[in-house]
Amino acid sequence: MKFGEQLRTSVIREYQWYYIDYDGLKAQLKTETTPSAGGGKGKRAEWNTENEEEFITTLYLELEKVHTKQRVKANEIGRRIAASEREVTEVVGRLDNQGPVTAEGHSDAPTEEEFMLLEEDLSDIIADVHDLAKFVQLNYTGFQKIIKKHDKQTGWHLKPAFATQLKAKPFFTDNYDADIVKLSKLYDIVRTRGNPVKGDSAAGGSQASFIRNTTKYWVHPDNITELKLIILKHLPVLVFNAGKEFDKQDSAITSIYYDNPETWELYEGRLKKSEGAEAIRLRWYGGMETETIFVERKTHREDWTGEKSVKARFAMKEKNVNAYMKGELLPPAIFEKARKDGKKPEKVIAEDERLAKEVQYSVLRKGYVPVCRSFYNRTAFQLPADARVRISLDTELTMVREDNLDGRKRSGNNWRRMDIGIDWPFSQLPSEDVERFPYAVLEVKLQTQSGQEAPAWVRELISSHLVEAVPKFSKFIHGTATLFPTRINLLPFWMPQMDVDIRKPITHHFGIRRPGQSANSSTSDDDQDDESDDEDGHDFGHASQESTVRDDNSEETVRHLLEARNELEQQDLRRRAQMSTGNTLDDEEQIANRPLTDAYVIYESDDEEGPNDLEEARRVGGWPYYSSLLKHEARVVGNATAKFVKKLVARPDVAMDDAIQNRLGQTVTEQRFKAPKGKKIHVPVRVEPKVYFAAERTFLGWLEFSIYIGTIAVTLLNFDAKLNSMSFIAAGAFTVVAVASLLYSVAIYLYRAQAIRERKAIQYHDTWGPSLCGDIVDQATRTWTNININTIPPFEIATPRTTNDDKPGRHDKSTKMSASDDLINFDIIEAQKENIQAIPSGRSARALANLFSASPLQPLATPNPSDTKTVNDAVRADFEAELALLAESDDPLDIYDRYVRWTMDAYPSAQATPQSQLLPLLEAATKAFLSSPQYKNDPRYLKLWLSYIRFFSDSPRETYAFLSRHGVGDGLALFYEEFAAWLETAGRWTQAEEVYNMGMEREARPAPRLLRKYNEFQQRFAAQPDESRAPSSPALPTVRPALAAKIDPYASAAAPPVDPQAPRPNSGVGGSQTTRNGRPKLAVFSDADEPAPVVGGSGAKGWDSIGSLAERRKENVVEATPWVGETMKAGAKKSTAPKMAVFKDQD
């Protein structure tokens, strides 16, 4: 977001007239432009002294305005805090000195309402501190940006001079820590109603050795004050000396870290989280004059050890540190005075002495020296003597070099350098000696019971937009990695994140609320900033970050909103509980399973050999070079193959639940980083003992698999009755699979064991091995089966003895069965071939064999017609039931299509008979969809019509014409192929050619097949004699008026019949018709009247229905009537036939 827009959207109503006039100052930088000769955009006038003076005057006035408002408001807050302190003291005093209750029920004790009013006042002051901090931060950023823009656009450098003015009016230098400490104390008293928790808040004591669950976060400087104010409402600021006035140096903490600069043993141990990794440091609180120095040792413990990481420390005088670290002062002398005083138990002193001995021994034996210093100001929040929840916020974090490397004496022979103290930001040091951390570090330390969650406000805090989680962040690791870039090659995993802005947009209302006020108070307009104020173009993520302190109309509204939000959260929890199953991904799994969007891995730093190693091997030459080159090429080929295979394998898309993101409080994002050249980024990996056992268990599983496969190979040889070459090939294939899987398992086990020992951050699961081996075994099994199945001879079921009543050979063919279901006994089909009606599409040999074969349960029985009819009737009843629900079907044609195909298969020898009922079925199917446009060009519907024409049509040509005029199949090549084939068989070659041409003109599909059929037809047509090509009449008759009143059967059903006797203009032969006596002449048809198209089409529709076969034949059937009352005459009749002449020879 541009800063101008951010400033306008973040305005707080109380300060709206005191913000920097950023837009006005920016407008002053835009000098007037002179129009160009071409009418385009002119050139800006040059910035002159007058412009500069005017700009500086306005700028200084804005600085004065902001500074004055800041000072006035800061003084007001101070006075309000002092007034609240007096009120709280007065109320607590009344609470401590309350007298007995009088007879009227009155008491001097403060009421609950008084405490509530005090709490509201303090909350309002906290909100004021928050608003003032936001006001100062925005204005300071505005001044910095406008100065940067001025210097860039004008070329006049104003930044040094303005820095002097900022020092004179330092509105941004006020530290609110003192106010926060006071507010924390007052708020804690009011919150506990005058009974704050008391206890020992000293830095030492019981805190010498402690175990905590710690999580760390980064906090942007813009959010530091707001975060402190939020925490103090729940935990008071931990003050070690409550009787002393707050001093900023009281919060300063400085630590000196030790390591071996040659091996960096402690650095790498802490970075890799090795078991037993140590960190040794010397720490003091306050300024350089502090006399008490704490020697601390952190020890990391892995979870499998059953122990927790522990920090142990002991105190000693500053004057003894050098002698102790050099081995001149032994631990017993350090604790001699403590034993004499007797203030500590002997057990505690003995533990401290043992720790001192171990630290001194490690420092002297391993050559540890000071390498790095960390400095920061810490604000700790904790209930006194209660370490269950402890929150610390470290600000102004800075790391400084303490070593004597590179020929420079920094600390010299001392245990710390003395040229600096706690004067942050240590401007006197060279840039290579100091690293100023840009963020604050928030540490949340919890001591909870097993399974117990952190408090709700803590969970809400760490999931808000104010913090950025950075697990296992270490000041020592970060300082060492940044201060020694030429000596450290293994970087922490958070290092690339330093270049990313950690500020995030507000995703839910979380922050400081002013009592009774939460409404919007933005006074911004909608003007857009015309130029980017950020040279790098970063969006700071504050598009919706308005002040969290708003005005409101009523407190009741806020209460209702909170109740509504709680109810929604409860509903979401109930919904998730109901929907959850054993296979449901939880929140973390959904985040982890989201597909990655970039093409490279998160951290490209774990390669054992890189380009630099290859170049080094090239210089060495010989076998090392060839070995490195071979490994490099193998790695390149392997990565390319893995990427290709991953693209082929579909990955499940895991959708992110919106409720998860709402609960997380921010958008779940994934960043991918690449280590700098020559560096590696260490990714933390935790290896538990069960990982080793899992690797061994997997190897044993592979070994068992190999044994099984080898056993199969031996079995194939031992139990094969006929050993041949195929047997040895099959056994050899299984043997190769067994040996390959064994070698593969050994290689995988060695690779995993080595990776586990080196704690590599890789994927240990085997993605392709099991699938590949399983596929090889499956292919080997299929190959053996296919080879041997053909060698098994077919067997015949034993034929019973023939009796005198049996005809020989009665069961010979009907009882032959194949040895396998994959084999078809064609003898059964051969015996029944005269009962099978052929169809153009052909029949399934298996279906015919099953139809005419005997039941496998009764080998000697022949198919029973009665049983077949029962089965067919049952199937037919199922189809009829489906037809009854035809209106509810998604695809009604599919029911008829299956019904017809089943009928043809069930009645191969009686399809055109009443027994099959195919005729009424086809008539019903063809009529049902004649008026359905979606089925006009459906191949299934056309095939139903073709079956009807093939089996039952008494006039195929008229039926084809009927289909054409109704548009059935006019877009399918099958229609024209079948019609042309029928015409060809009828000897109508010319009409067949006409049909082919019509189909190609209408671009019937598939066009290539239709063209191929047409070419084949042309070859046959060319071989025919010329006289066989007649007749040449159109294949599809056109509509013509007849001589009589007969209506054309293919005329449009919707149009009224045309009377052929009606007079027609310009019809007849020789001119127009004339009438005599008012009666028209006989109309004689002439082709010259109106030329008809050669073929008809769907444009000229025929009847709505072609009718049934019975309806078309009824006029040719004599109806039988009973002879009731008729008498047949009997007797001889005189024949009228001439008598037969008998030839007589006249001679």
How far apart CA 979 and CA 971 sit, in angstroms, is 14
Ramachandran region, residue 292 (left: φ > 0; alpha: ψ -120 to 50; beta: rest): beta
In 3D, which of 1019, 1006, 933 has the Cα closest to residue 976? 1006
The residues facing 305 across adjacent strands are none
Phi–psi pair at 608, nearest 5 degrees: -70, -35
In 3D, which of 268, 271, 272, 248 has the Cα closest to residue 260? 268
Per the document, the length of the chain is: 1147
DSSP 102: P
Sorted by sequence, the CB contacts under 8 Å of residue 900 that are 6+ apart come out as: 918, 921, 922, 925, 944, 947
Task: Count the neighbouring beta carbons within 10 Å of the beta carbon of residue 1048.
Answer: 17
Q: Would you say 23 and 10 are in contact if contact means Cβ atoms under 8 Å apart?
A: no
* 3-class DSSP string for 415-439: CCCCCCCCCCCCCCCCHHHEEECCC
Paired sense of beta strands 252-259 and 490-492, if any: unpaired
* Residue ranges with strand state E in 746-855: none
Give SS3 for 988.
coil
In a 10 Å sphere around its CB, with 0-12 CB exposed, 13-18 middle and 19+ buried, how is residue 372 labelled?
Answer: buried
Amino acid at site 916: S
Phi–psi pair at 603, nearest 5 degrees: -125, 110
The two counts, helices (H) then strands (E), for the chain are 33, 14
How far apart CA 429 and CA 422 sit, in angstroms, is 13
Task: Count the neighbouring beta carbons within 10 Å of the beta carbon of residue 136.
Answer: 23
In a 10 Å sphere around its CB, with 0-12 CB exposed, 13-18 middle and 19+ buried, how is residue 49 labelled?
Answer: exposed
Task: Count the neighbouring beta carbons within 10 Å of the beta carbon of residue 1052.
Answer: 16
Task: Count the neighbouring beta carbons within 10 Å of the beta carbon of residue 120.
Answer: 14
Give SS3 for 707.
helix
Residue 961 CA, chain-centre distance (Å), reads 57
DSSP 452: P
How far apart CA 937 and CA 1002 sit, in angstroms, is 13
Please indicate whether residue 73 is annotated as part of the active site. Answer: no
Report cis status (omega within 30 of 0) of the bond before 800: no
Report DSSP letters for 164-215, one per residue: HHHHHS-TT----HHHHHHHHHHHHHHHTTT--------SSGGGSSB--EEE
Residue 1066 CA, chain-centre distance (Å), reads 78
Element (H, E) at 995: helix 989-1001
How far apart CA 225 and CA 130 sit, in angstroms, is 7
In 3D, which of 615, 612, 651, 608 has the Cα closest to residue 631? 608
Sign of CA dihedral 639, 645, 647, 650: negative
- Check 475, 816, 1013, 1101 and give the catalytic one: 475
Element (H, E) at 776: helix 769-789
Q: Which residues are catalytic?
A: 475
